[in-house]
Amino acid sequence: MTLASEISHNVWVGSTPDPATEDEAEYDVLIECSDVARINPAALESIARGKEKDNRQPYIDFPSSGSILPPTWSQVEADGILETCKWIYHLAHGTFPTDEPSPENENGDIQARPRKILIHCADGYTESTMLSIAYLSYSTGRGVADSWLHLHTEKKRNFFAYPTDVALLTCIEPRLLHESPVHADKGLSSITALIKDPTWMHSMDGSFPSRVLDYMYLGNLGHANNPELLRSLGIGQILSVGEMSMWRDGELEQWGTDNVCLVQGVQDNGIDPLMDQFERCLDFIERGRRNGTATLVHCRVGVSRSATICIAEVMKSLNYSFPRAYCYVRARRLNVIIQPHLRFAYELLKWEEILQVRRGGPGALKRELEWADITREIASMNRPYAR
């Protein structure tokens, strides 16, 4: 999920590689995104001009997603983001800006060598998001909204962004497109026409629903209330667990009532059961998979009721035990920590028993972990976030 992948020519995004390993040695330049970093395009320019006197691997810093706040950001920061994108592009392509003198070696030849660049952060999907989307827009000439979708749907990257990233990137979008090498021969009016402002962008908090499986997403009520976003992501079904989306008149008919499944009477109170809805919910998800569309599973926040349904589906489709399915879904929910309460956790353990009996075979009822072990391990995983 966090394995490095190429998002544009010679530019990769992934998690921070271990130092002095083969993974790190694959790249010529490493750009680490963190909340203590400052914008420093001059460091990239220095590499492009061949001013590095030794053969050490260059390590560059860049501010993390959510760390540049639109109400307070300055023109200098906007310039820095654009300059950073520009020098990443030229380093990746082995070129040099046409309006600046090119570096020359002792024989007067232009030094031009494409560099393989890694934009990275600790988890591979949070701190690096803002720079990744900005660079994808700059290097491909796509609008910001289109780049957001392209990174997720075509490049298959899972990422987490903040509302401030939406505000910042949409604000500098005209400059990203105007200075993009793809649009070098276009006038201002042509570039302005490229800027799209889809309505789903106004209702998005920065992050898409979490892709748990190719045909199943886990999200919150806000995602469910944004049908245009869901269509753009290839989601054609909605499974609402205890919460009903609030759509405008006519949207439900346009979506299709058969493509919406509502589980009623299940509150996140530790009392209401959910297990008796598993079969119905998973059949609905399977219907979408057979029809070639994805299903959004949501409740209010997307951490308990809907997460329980997603865990049940992973257990069934991937033949995972409850502990493994829990970790699988938890990892793919990215920065949102799933929290099925004790009753739901116990029901999932019973669901594991049902699936084992159906599959049959010797030792069909053997558990990987017992109830006490599971609850202790989940509490241990949550402890760092309870301070």
Q: What gap in Å lies between CA 67 and CA 165, rounded to an integer? A: 9
Please check whether residue 201 is in contact with residue 145, taking contact to mean a CB–CB distance below 8 angstroms: yes
Instruction: Give residue 69's pLDDT.
Output: 81
| Cβ–Cβ under 8 Å, residues 182 and 137 | no
pLDDT of residue 118: 98
Q: For the segment 347-358, what is each residue's pLDDT rounded down to a tens digit?
A: 999 999 999 999
How confident is the model over 146-186, as pLDDT tens digits? 999 999 999 999 999 999 999 999 999 999 999 999 998 88
Please report the sign of the dihedral spanned by the C-alpha atoms of residue 151, residue 153, residue 156, residue 158: positive
The closest alpha carbon to 172, from 70, 64, 53, belongs to 70
DSSP β-bridge partners for residue 298:
219, 240
Structure-model confidence comparison of residues 359 and 320, the more confident one: 320
Instruction: Kindly report, residue by residue over 57-95, the tens digit of the pLDDT.
Output: 799 999 999 999 876 778 899 999 999 999 999 999 999
Domains of the chain: 5-202 (3.90.190.10), 210-385 (3.90.190.10)
d(CA 116, CA 93) in angstroms, rounded, equals: 9
pLDDT on residue 26:
94
- Is the per-residue pLDDT at 99 higher than 70? no
**For residues 53 and 143, is the Cβ–Cβ distance under 8 A?**
no
pLDDT at 328: 98
In the predicted model, what is the mean pLDDT of residues 252-275? Answer: 94
What pLDDT is attached to residue 253?
86
Decide if pLDDT at 52 tops 90. Answer: no
The pLDDT of residue 185 is 85
Q: What is the pLDDT of residues 301-348, one digit of tens each?
A: 999 999 999 999 999 999 999 999 999 999 999 999 999 999 999 999
In the predicted model, is pLDDT for residue 224 greater than 80?
yes
Would you state the pLDDT for residue 107? 47
Residue 109 predicted with pLDDT over 60: no
Q: Which candidate, 84, 97, 90, places its Cα nearest to that of 172?
A: 84
State the average pLDDT for the chain: 91
**Cα dihedral sign, 319-322-328-334:** positive
User: β-strands 5-8, 216-219: how paired?
Assistant: unpaired
Better-predicted residue by pLDDT, 203 or 32: 32
Report the share of the chain in percent with pLDDT over 70: 93
